[in-house]
């Protein structure tokens, strides 16, 4: 394929249109690709090189688009890859983009998971719901377990429940079965285990016999 013309695209910064002789086919690519592949009028481009130009230029634009997405919110590796595919990138291109961003340390699942756990924990979510959210974001099971263990060492889950109990149920009475049921349902919906709920209730209620039944 012989290039007939290389011209700058109006109103698009650093973008060029490549036209070919005896063909309606054309390319809109970046100035970087024009320089990298020595593209100019009269140059004959083999089919393999043409495909390489397409792939490299798509990769560059994909990295720019991915960085734009990351500037607005955090993504896990899997969630960003899925977003790129939704935007029209082939899986191969999306994978290349992701690998490049990982090399540049713009993507790090461990840091993402730690931040996600800290955020959800602060929002009053328990381990079960946090685990479900991390799995939904494509975080590997071993990494989820590792990050959750780090959080547990920073603050006992029961201590977290006690703090929330004092805020949400200021007049909590561990001897009142209705109050215990109501508070238990509240914490179960947020992903806390019966064991941790019971431990927190004991701290607040000084070992009420009724609370012990939660572990049975």
pLDDT band for 208, please (50, 70, 90 cuts): very low
Whether 45 has a pLDDT exceeding 50, the answer reads yes
- Please give the residue that has the higher pLDDT: either 29 or 71: 71
> Among the listed ranges 20-29, 67-76, 147-156, 189-198, which one has the minimum average pLDDT value?
147-156
In contact, 94 and 84? CB cutoff 8 Å: yes
Q: Given a cut of 80, is residue 69 above it in pLDDT?
A: yes
Burial class (CB in 10 A: 0-12, 13-18, 19+), 144: buried
Please state which of the ranges 58-62, 82-86, 197-201 shows the lowest mean pLDDT.
Answer: 197-201
Structure tokens at 19: 């036209």
Over residues 159-164, the mean pLDDT reads: 75
CA 76-98-149 angle, 5° bins: 30
Q: What is the largest CA-CA distance in the chain?
A: 89
Contacting residues for 148 by C-beta, under 8 A, at least 6 apart? 117, 127, 130, 131
- The top-scoring range by mean pLDDT among 4-18, 35-49, 126-140, 179-193 is 126-140
Helix (H) or strand (E) holding 42: none
For position 75, what pLDDT does the model report? 92
Predicted pLDDT at 152: 63
Kindly provide the b/e burial profile for residues 93-128, where b requires at least 16 CB atoms within 10 angstroms of the residue's own CB: bbebbbebbeeeebbebeebbbebbeebbeebbbbe
193, 126 contact by CB (below 8 A): yes
First to last CA, the chain: 76
CA-only gyration radius of the chain, Å: 28
Please, which pLDDT band fits residue 182 given cuts at 50, 70 and 90?
confident
Indicate whether 210 pLDDT > 70: no
Kindly report the average pLDDT of the chain as a whole number.
80
**Low-confidence winner among 32-36, 115-119, 129-133, 199-203 (lowest mean pLDDT):** 199-203
């Amino acid at each position: 394929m012989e290039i007939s013309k290389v011209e700058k695209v109006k109103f698009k910064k650093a973008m060029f249109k490549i036209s070919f002789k005896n063909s309606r086919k054309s390319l809109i690519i970046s100035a970087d690709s024009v320089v990298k592949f020595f593209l100019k009028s009269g140059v004959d481009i083999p089919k393999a090189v043409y495909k390489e130009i397409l792939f490299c230029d798509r990769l560059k634009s994909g990295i720019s688009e991915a960085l734009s997405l990351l500037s607005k919110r955090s993504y896990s590796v899997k969630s960003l890859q899925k977003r790129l595919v939704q935007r029209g990138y082939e899986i191969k291109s999306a994978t290349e983009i992701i690998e490049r961003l990982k090399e540049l340390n713009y993507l790090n699942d461990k840091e993402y998971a730690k931040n996600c756990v800290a955020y959800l924990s602060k929002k009053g979510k328990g381990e079960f719901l946090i685990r479900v959210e991390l799995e939904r974001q494509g975080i590997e099971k071993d990494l989820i377990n590792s990050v959750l263990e780090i959080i547990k060492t920073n603050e006992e889950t029961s201590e977290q429940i006690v703090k929330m109990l004092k805020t949400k149920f200021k007049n909590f009475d561990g001897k009142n079965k209705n109050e215990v049921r109501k508070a238990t349902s509240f914490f179960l919906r947020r992903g806390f285990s019966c064991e941790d709920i019971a431990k927190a209730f004991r701290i607040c209620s000084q070992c009420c016999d009724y609370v012990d039944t939660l572990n049975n």
